[in-house]
Amino acid sequence: MSLVYSSSYLFWAIYGSEVDIPAFLNKLVGLGYEVGKAYYRSGSIQVEPLPGGYAARRVYEEGEVKIYIDTARWAVGTSGDNYQLTMRGVADISRAFIELSFPEPPRAEFHTSIGLKAENCRRQTVKIGDVEMAVDGYILTTGQPQGGEGIYIAITPTGGGRYIAYIIVGGSWSYVVTYAKRIGDIINGAIHFFTSCN
């Protein structure tokens, strides 16, 4: 038995080299976003974010979508008040990229964090030296989520029967979007594996 008590979602489109951030923010204005300022100064892009640290935001009836700019990685990120709003932000970013004729970003990442209260049926003990220690939590991976394409899942105890599940899907735009659309299945499967005592 488990209870999810919090969740967050963050999607990054990572270019790794300079893209026209001022044009991107101007395109977001046309999509209904309030945007910060971005401009060129001495050959480099300066971004003045909105209060709260994000580059743009749009308020929908269901909540808020935020857009982030990371000029160190030349990445555009989005998060929302829930999964559906985060994916709406992904759709808005994608639309802006298409309308600006930006190439598809060479890399994308989807980060999910879930707080849950659960019983870890995979818990065991091991002896390290002369100390008996509990193995509590786990890490699962497929592919190469840190540099290639793949999925990383970590479930870590935070105390009192509470855990944080952290999932990263990394790879090409199409790979990440495909798995981002199925993230509910991945989350449910990971929680079921963790809590299944059979």
The pLDDT tens digits for 45-92 are 889 999 999 999 999 999 999 999 999 899 999 999 999 999 999 999
- Residue 3 to residues 95, 157, 192, Cα–Cα distance (Å): 36, 14, 12
Q: How far apart are CA 92 and CA 5, in angstroms?
A: 28
Q: Mean pLDDT, to the nearest integer, of 24-42?
A: 93
Q: Please, what is the average pLDDT of the chain?
A: 92
Residue ranges of the domains in the chain?
A: 1-10+107-198, 17-105
* Residue 94 confidence (pLDDT) above 90: yes
Average pLDDT over every residue of 119-146? 87
Tokens of 12: 């990054």
The reported pTM is 0.90
What would the pLDDT profile of 145-194 be if each residue is shown by its tens digit? 888 999 999 999 998 889 999 999 999 999 999 999 999 999 999 988 88
